[in-house]
Every structure is written in C-alpha cells, then in structure tokens.
Chains A and B, each alone.
Chain A
Amino acid sequence: MREQIIEAVKEIFSTMIMMEVTVSGEVPAEKIMTDSISGIIGLAGTHKGVLAIHLPHRVAMAITGSFLGMDVDEINSDVEDAVGELANMIGGNVKSILSANGRDISLSMPTTISGKQYDFQPTKDADSLVISLRCEAGEFIIELQLQK
C-alpha cells in the first residue's frame, strides 16, 4: 500500500507539476501543522477513510506556480484549488489500489484547511499510514486513514 501510494504520488508530480519526488526518511512525531495547507478528501463505500496531503505554505505556492505556469506568492484560491486537486488525484489512485475496478468506492469533494497553526486528527479506530516525501520545493506529508 505504502509503495503503491508513493509510486502514484511520484507519477502525479512528474506529469502534472514536473517535479521529482523522493521519500524523505523522517516522519514527524508531532503532526501539528504550522503555516501550512492541507488538501483532504474522503473515501466512501466498501472502504471508508480520508486521504490528506499536508504542505507548508511555501511548498504549496511553488507547486501551484509550477502547476499553473505562473508565479504564486500568496495563499489564494488558486493554491486552494491546486491542493484540493492534488488530494483528488491521489485519492483517485488510492481508490483504484483499494478496489480493483474502483467502482465500490467513491470520493467526496476535496476540501482544504489553511492556517498558521492547526492540528489534524482523524477519528480513533482508524488505521493510519503517514508518508514523508520531498520534492524540489520542500518536504510534505501524505496521510491515509482507513476505518478498521
């Protein structure tokens, strides 16, 4: 699962935003986000869960800039849409990984959370997979929570 998600993220980053992604060893113990934006999408159906991508603001702006082909220097609706769309694309891949034809799982609408400091927590009784990744713009985190 972990490897499949990493492959999917690499593929999405290299085709959509022309950035290489590598695995960064450290998974932060405390997952309190500072000056960050998170893209979140729900999975419903035979598997229920949540997929999130957490990006520091500067990484999110660089990614959005590369995605849109223009300079982005603030967290605006372009960045929110790009981060939501990233969550949507990764969620689409997770859906196919979990269910052979992807038909038994549907995705919710992506939402974004942005702020100076916040703490993101799924409900208890969920299996959690946290992956720390790095692209040329900096480090970011992919988090998948699935109901047991």
Chain B
Amino acid sequence: MADELDLENEIFKGTQDVFSTMISVELERETFNGQNAIQSNLTSMIGLGGGICGALAIHCPAAVAKAITAGFIGMEVEELDEDVKDAIGEIANMVAGNLKVSYAATGVNVELAIPTSIVGDKFRVSGMAEAKRIVVPMKMAEGLFWVELMYV
C-alpha cells in the first residue's frame, strides 16, 4: 500500500514545509547523482517502525548544518556543537513526522523512534543490504543537503 505514495515527492514536500515554517527558508529540489555525491559532516537519523520498517536520515555539510541551526535558534553558530546536533535532530524528527502523516493518508501507521546525530569528517551510513534507499537532494543558500529514506 505504501507503494502508492510518491515517496520522493512526499519527502520533498514534508521537508520544504518544515523549513518554511521553522526557519523561513525556501528549498529547491535537485537531482540525485548517486551515493558518492552525499557530503556529510553531520547526519541526524530517526528510526521508523509500525507499519513500515525503516529509517530517515538528513545528511548536512557543516556550513548547511550551521545555517539551519542559526535560523532555528536565532543566533550565529560557530561550530558543530550540541545546539547543532539538537537542531538537526529535531528537523529530522519533524520531517519524519510529516512522512508519518503522508503514510497515514494511505492507511499505514508509522511510529517514530527518537533522533540521533552523528558528527564526523569521514563516515558512512548504510542500511541493510536489501534495503530500498530514496535520496532527495535539496538546496538552500548555503549549499546542498540530502534527505534519505531507507526501508525494507
């Protein structure tokens, strides 16, 4: 039943909604050029259970993560500190919340776990080998970031 959803479009609309409401930023959707194109210094992830089994991740380069956090808390951000991890984790939570609403419209009940954030210079995020992965790149003034849905 979940296949009836245009997931890429739901992910983009759900993220756009969060950004325009929370930090008054309009996003543009970009074309995805493969996993190697993803650049992340901070990834926030949240598990999805219930009617689906998946995880949603937001991958941000440092400049984008800081810009989002600055908009969120209303002050300049110098480094990838606790504020940034909390802010991007909360964005992941809200984007997952919108996806839950999208799924509910098709009769699928999605339950959310709690977000976690990973900060590092060079790390790799993987799902299970058989997982489906949908990545939607989005652009704001400070650069690109990637919202990824993995599910089995």
CB distance from A35 to the nearest CB of B (A): 11
CB distance from A103 to the nearest CB of B (A): 12
State whether the Cβ of B117 lies closer than 8 Å to any Cβ in chain A: yes
State whether the Cβ of A119 lies closer than 8 Å to any Cβ in chain B: yes
B window 112-137: CB within 8 A of A: 112-129, 131
State whether A111 and B113 are in contact (beta carbons under 8 Å apart), knowing that A118-B120, A121-B85 are contacts in the complex.
no
Is the beta-carbon distance between A41 and B124 smaller than 8 angstroms? no
Is the beta-carbon distance between A42 and B129 smaller than 8 angstroms? no
Nearest-neighbor residue (CB-CB) of B57 within chain A? A111
Cα A91 to Cα B49 with chains together (Å): 12
Interface stretch (choices B3-11, B40-48, B60-68, B139-147): B40-48
Is the beta-carbon distance between B124 and A114 smaller than 8 angstroms? yes
Cα A34 to Cα B55 with chains together (Å): 24
Which residues of the other chain, B, contact A119 by a CB distance below 8 angstroms?
A: 118-120
State whether the Cβ of B89 lies closer than 8 Å to any Cβ in chain A: yes
Is the beta-carbon distance between B45 and A109 smaller than 8 angstroms? no
State whether the Cβ of B95 lies closer than 8 Å to any Cβ in chain A: no
A window 43-85: CB within 8 A of B: 43-45, 48-50, 52, 77, 80-81, 84
Interface centre among B90, B116, B128 (most CB of A within 10 A): B116
CB distance from B109 to the nearest CB of A (A): 10
Classify the interface of chain B: helix, strand, loop or mixed: strand
Classify the interface of chain A: helix, strand, loop or mixed: strand
Query: Please, what's the 1-or-0 string for A117-128, where 1 marks a CB less than 8 Å from any CB in chain B?
Result: 111111110100
Is the beta-carbon distance between B49 and A45 smaller than 8 angstroms? yes
Is the beta-carbon distance between A43 and B150 smaller than 8 angstroms? no
State whether the Cβ of A106 lies closer than 8 Å to any Cβ in chain B: yes
Nearest-neighbor residue (CB-CB) of B51 within chain A? A106
State whether the Cβ of A138 lies closer than 8 Å to any Cβ in chain B: no
Apart from A84-B127, A107-B53, A115-B123, 18 more pairs, CB < 8 Å: A42-B46, A43-B47, A44-B49, A44-B112, A50-B113, A77-B129, A80-B129, A108-B46, A108-B49, A109-B47, A112-B126, A114-B123, A115-B120, A116-B123, A117-B122, A118-B120, A121-B119, A123-B86
A-B contact pairs, 30 of them (CB 8 A): A42-B49, A43-B49, A43-B113, A44-B111, A44-B113, A50-B113, A50-B114, A52-B116, A77-B126, A80-B126, A81-B129, A84-B126, A106-B53, A107-B47, A108-B46, A108-B55, A109-B55, A109-B127, A109-B150, A111-B125, A113-B123, A113-B124, A114-B124, A115-B122, A116-B123, A121-B116, A123-B114, A123-B116, A123-B117, A124-B82
